[in-house]
Amino acid sequence: MNVSFPTRRGSFWSTAGAAVAVVVLCAVGAGCGDRSDDAAASGTQDSDGGEVPREGTADGGADAEPDEAPNTPGSGLVDQYGQRYCEILTVTLSDQGAAAEVWGTQGLNDCPQEPFDALDPAVIASQLGANLAVLNGPRYWVLDRIVANELAGTLQERDFGGIEMRSIATVELGEGMGDRTPLTETSVARDTDFVFEEGREVFELTAPDGSVYVMQSYSIEVDPDLTAETLGSLGDRLELPEGWAFSSRVLREDLVVQDIDGIATVIQDRFRNSYQLRSRG
């Protein structure tokens, strides 16, 4: 896998970006509670239901003050198949290790390409007091529904260069700072159910020990021409190590992929498509 980063992200990557890119395994899909249709159309609302104006941003950074949002267990997103999103991960280093806060557009907007291309990770990291920021996406869901039982993110909303995002998850990186090697497991703190509905074609990776991971989203970071219609042919392109297998099947009943005690285990393939552990071998 090519682990170099696009030059449009700037020289920021030359120092620490590659070392922490593993956090992008993510998020990669922390579920999040959706807003009402009226709120989504008009913007953020205050406690009385009135619209709160949002201030613009400049220089590819974030706004100064985030909007507060309640953490409401049991909320979620429906009709997500094919929905586009992107994320920003802000990484903080301490004596205890590294941790990343995940900001995502899920349930808010479809991550417009032009403002996303204009984001500057170095500016974002500086404004949010993080050691660095990592851009993830754009990505597309291949699941149908997300049920957010309890979120690890704060659900605060913030404007990043004109793209509204909310805090949806945290990723504990520990003492080690891995790379973005394909098929490397990453633990994501979130309590969500990912639902694939009956009749949906799902794509799975099976490890040598029999563990099965189901694709939750695909990325256009590495292959901009990748689409939902071409996912079935990935097996010929993944260059999997010996003992690994890629397969697809059409569901005869709903499939619910759950975290284990609030921790989701996620891997990516060489195209940065993300899969969550469904069953341990």
Q: In this predicted model, what pLDDT tens digit does every residue of 159-186 receive, in sequence order?
A: 999 999 999 888 777 665 555 789 999 8
Identify the band that residue 262 occupies on the pLDDT scale cut at 50, 70 and 90: confident
Assigned domain for 47 exists: no
For the stretch 33-74, pLDDT in tens is 333 333 333 333 333 333 333 333 445 676 645 554 443 434
Total domain count for the chain? 1
Pairwise pLDDT comparison (13 vs 189), residue with the higher score: 189
86: tokens are 């992107």
The answer to whether position 171 is within a domain reads yes
pLDDT at position 75 is 59
The residues near 270 (Cβ < 8 Å, ≥ 6 apart) are 1, 182, 222, 237, 238, 239
CA-CA distances (angstroms) from residue 81 to 85, 197, 198, 202? 11, 10, 13, 11
Please give the residue range of the domain that contains residue 89.
Answer: 12-41+58-279
In whole angstroms, what is the distance from residue 224 CA to residue 233 CA? 15
- Dihedral sign, Cα of residue 114, residue 115, residue 116, residue 121: positive
245-250/201-206 β-pairing: antiparallel
Dist CA 238 CA 213 (whole Å):
15
Of 149 and 200, the structure prediction assigns the larger pLDDT to 200
Does a structural domain hold residue 202? yes
Tell me what pLDDT residue 30 has: 44
Residue range 120-145: average pLDDT? 95
pTM above 0.85, yes or no: no
pLDDT confidence bin for 18, thresholds 50/70/90: very low
Question: What is the residue-averaged pLDDT of the chain?
Answer: 77
**Cβ 135 vs Cβ 6: under 8 Å:** no
Residue 5 lies in a domain: no
Distance between first and last Cα of the chain: 25
Within a domain: residue 94?
yes
Indicate whether 148 belongs to any domain: yes
Assign 25 a pLDDT band (cuts: 50, 70, 90).
very low
Residue 139 resides in a domain: yes
Please check whether residue 46 lies inside any domain of the structure.
Answer: no
Q: Give the whole-angstrom CA distance, residue 194 versus residue 76.
A: 10
191-196/163-174 β-pairing: unpaired
Whole-angstrom distance, CA of residue 71 vs CA of residue 54: 21
